[in-house]
Amino acid sequence: MTICRIQTLISCTLLLTAGLISAGCNGGNSSEDLEKKEGKKVDAISARENLEKRRICKANLDKVYQILQPSAENINSELQAAVVILNQWFGSCADLSKTQRDVAHPLFMPQTEPEFIANLNSDSVSLGDVLYLRDQLLMRKVVEHVVQDSPTDLEKIRAIYEYTCRNITLDQQLIDPRLTAAGLITQERLSQLDPTTIPRTLQDVVLAGRGLPQDRIWVFATLLEQLNFDSLVMMPPESADAKASSPAILFVLIDDQLLAFCPELAIEFQANAEDANQLWAASALAKDFNSLFNTFPGVTFPEGSPIQQMQAVDWKTADVFLPYAMLSTSRRMEALQIEFAGEMACTIYQPLEGDDANGVGLGERVTSRLKPILEERKLTFWSYPHKMYQQSLLASEEALTLRELSHATLMKEVRSVRANEDQNEEKTYKVSMERQMLKARLQQLLGNETEALRTYIRIRLQFSVTGTGAAVQFENLMRFLQAEDAQYWSAISQYESQGYRAAADTLQNYVARYPNGRWANSARQLQAEALAKNDKPAEAVEILKQSEFPASMNVRKTIDLQNWQTP
């Protein structure tokens, strides 16, 4: 009995010990499970915090877009608010590249301010960044409208080019000389004015619809950039300033082939007059660059024509430029490019060097395809876009006044006169169309032709203000100038919506009413084109024969006459 009890006790002890060991092991597993659960809670909290942070970051960029988006309702947005929000975003949301922009980089011109290039590395946003972003957003919306009916790359590029030449009339003054009559600027100051000193962004240029040859190049290249078409500008050394004697050439790259344009003359140098799909090869142009100017069979240009000036240039010594804003290479634009998607999608960043995310850098991308033409010449950024943005940032009071004068009819408040007589029988005037011209022009650029035309008609139907005095004279002058602009832009709206007959009629009425108007030459040229589009080449030829144009417009006139007179 004793032995059995002892065995039983030993068995129980062993079982109890095993149970305790088992319990101890199970207790260890419970502790690990608890730690895992706590870890999962931390991860979940962290994930929620990250999601909330991303939501706030996205909300901030959405606010920026609401300020900068191109729309008629948004035309008077406060840009400084966008600067503040973007700086908050860069402070808490941005993932900035560690790659520094080097002042000695070959794409930067030697005369570029070292301080500006150093600022490309900064994470601090300035008004210049906001102006640049606003321009790129506008250009993207414009180009989407322009190419919506163009299925191929060639058709897209040519549609953008024609749109640019049609919407940017060349003007070496930029300020209407008739404003001298209102005492807003003296004739002496106007005659001495260098138009390149008037600060202008791309939005300013396209809204005004007038610019220098450089402005046409800038607009055209930026619209192309938004569709990822690379371009390059070639300028004779003496034509780098506004008073160029020989026009520049802009090349557009498609794979290993080229299209060649002269924005100042509004013409394309086609590789084959019989086959518009045949493009230039860089190797062929390297052997015979002047073959570029022999592409108009049967056309005889008058003595001293800009085409003859271009033929006389030694293009092997010409400067070659990338027509992009240097701001596009900054670390700030690199960080924002990733975030600019959906409604905000547009091209704002150009990589200086290649990497896994961006592929080949800008300089190498262009140089590799144009090596036969470039040879050993140095490719750099064009200084003009940089100069315009810098002037917009650092503008003096006089410069800002000149900018306002160049946009006088856009900024002027259009007033509908309602003769509500008070007890003293004095007429009062109420504003009912504040800045409607500006809004209508933007609607037109964005492709909302119907809405733009509706406003243009209202502006054209304004009555003159009765009375005497300087204020009344100024009011009537502005109404006259606005009505003139509205009639010309009405015709462009009709033309771009393929209402060629209506456009021709509107332009005919414009020329009849404003034979010496600011748009008179462009109106006659566009009237002829509208008639030709409407299968009336004989009438188009007659319009051109009766028109006397400046030298820059005569080249296209000569080509059109040849084309429309040839059976």
The 3-class secondary structure across 522-565, one letter per residue, is: HHHHHHHHHHHHCCCHHHHHHHHHCCCCCHHHHHHHHHHHHHHH
pLDDT value of position 423: 38
Among 109-113, 227-231, 399-403, where is mean pLDDT lowest?
Answer: 109-113
Interval 541-564: pLDDT, tens: 999 999 999 999 999 999 999 999
The confidence band for 137, taking pLDDT boundaries of 50, 70 and 90, is very high
CB proximity list for 345: less than 8 A, separation 6 or greater: 140
The confidence band for 418, taking pLDDT boundaries of 50, 70 and 90, is very low
pLDDT value of position 356: 53
Query: Which of 109 and 322 is assigned the larger pLDDT?
Result: 322
pLDDT value of position 126: 94
Residue with tokens 């004793």: 2
pLDDT value of position 42: 58
The confidence band for 11, taking pLDDT boundaries of 50, 70 and 90, is low
The pLDDT of residue 45 is above 70: no
**Rg of the chain over all Cα atoms, to the nearest angstrom:** 32
The confidence band for 410, taking pLDDT boundaries of 50, 70 and 90, is confident
Residue type, 284: A
Average the pLDDT over 52-67 and give the result.
89
Structure tokens at 72: 């008629």
pLDDT value of position 37: 64
Neighbours of 180 (CB within 10 A): 16
The pLDDT of residue 440 is above 60: yes
Neighbours of 281 (CB within 10 A): 14
Neighbours of 8 (CB within 10 A): 10
The pLDDT of residue 16 is above 50: no
Average the pLDDT over 502-519 and give the result.
96
pLDDT value of position 567: 64
Q: Read out DSSP for 387-442?
A: HHHHHHHH--HHHHHHHHHHTHHHHSPEEEEEEEE-TT--EEEEEEETTHHHHHHH
Side-chain half-sphere exposure of 313, counting CA atoms within 13 A? 26
Most confident segment among 208-212, 438-442, 470-474: 208-212
Query: Which of 10 and 352 is assigned the larger pLDDT?
Result: 352
**Residue whose C-alpha is closest to residue 267's, from 507, 527, 552:** 552
The pLDDT of residue 49 is above 50: yes
Q: What is the Cα–Cα distance from 51 to 132, expressed in whole angstroms? A: 30
Q: What is the Cα–Cα distance from 413 to 374, expressed in whole angstroms? A: 50
Among 17-26, 133-142, 269-278, 355-364, where is mean pLDDT lowest?
Answer: 17-26
Residue type, 126: S
Q: What is the Cα–Cα distance from 213 to 168, expressed in whole angstroms? A: 9
Q: What is the Cα–Cα distance from 33 to 18, expressed in whole angstroms? A: 23
Q: List the Cα angle 105/109/112 in 5-degree steps.
A: 100
pLDDT value of position 21: 44
pLDDT value of position 432: 42
Among 3-7, 147-151, 454-458, 536-540, where is mean pLDDT lowest?
Answer: 3-7
The pLDDT of residue 38 is above 90: no
Average the pLDDT over 198-215 and give the result.
96
The confidence band for 358, taking pLDDT boundaries of 50, 70 and 90, is low
pLDDT value of position 338: 92
The pLDDT of residue 425 is above 50: no
pLDDT value of position 561: 95
Interval 447-491: pLDDT, tens: 999 999 999 999 999 888 888 888 888 888 989 999 999 999 999
Average the pLDDT over 198-219 and give the result.
96
| Percent of the chain clearing pLDDT 90 (strictly above) | 65
**Residue whose C-alpha is closest to residue 159's, from 498, 558, 527, 535:** 498
Length of the chain counted residue by residue: 567
Among 236-240, 355-359, 407-411, 511-515, where is mean pLDDT lowest?
Answer: 355-359
pLDDT value of position 547: 94
Q: What is the Cα–Cα distance from 298 to 307, expressed in whole angstroms? A: 14
Output the CA–CA distances (angstroms, integers) from residue 105 to 112, 337, 351, 428, in the order listed: 11, 22, 12, 62
The pLDDT of residue 25 is above 90: no
Interval 160-180: pLDDT, tens: 999 999 999 999 999 999 999
pLDDT value of position 431: 39
Contact 243, 362 (CB under 8 A): no
pLDDT value of position 73: 74
Contact 165, 262 (CB under 8 A): no
**Nearest 10 degrees: Cα torsion 142, 147, 149, 151:** -160
Q: What is the Cα–Cα distance from 123 to 128, expressed in whole angstroms? A: 13
Looking at every residue in the chain, the average pLDDT score rounds to: 86
The confidence band for 36, taking pLDDT boundaries of 50, 70 and 90, is low
Classify 140 in phi/psi space as left (phi over 0), alpha (psi -120 to 50) or beta: alpha
Query: Which of 404 and 423 is assigned the larger pLDDT?
Result: 404
**Residue whose C-alpha is closest to residue 309's, from 30, 22, 552:** 552
Contact 252, 230 (CB under 8 A): yes
| Percent of the chain clearing pLDDT 70 (strictly above) | 85
Q: List the Cα angle 127/341/149 in 5-degree steps.
A: 105
Residue type, 416: S
Query: Which of 280 and 25 is assigned the larger pLDDT?
Result: 280
**Residue whose C-alpha is closest to residue 155's, from 45, 11, 252:** 252
Interval 60-98: pLDDT, tens: 999 999 999 998 777 777 899 999 999 999 998 988 888
Q: What is the Cα–Cα distance from 426 to 446, expressed in whole angstroms? A: 42
Q: What is the Cα–Cα distance from 292 to 268, expressed in whole angstroms? A: 10
The pTM of the full predicted model, rounded to 2 decimals, is 0.88
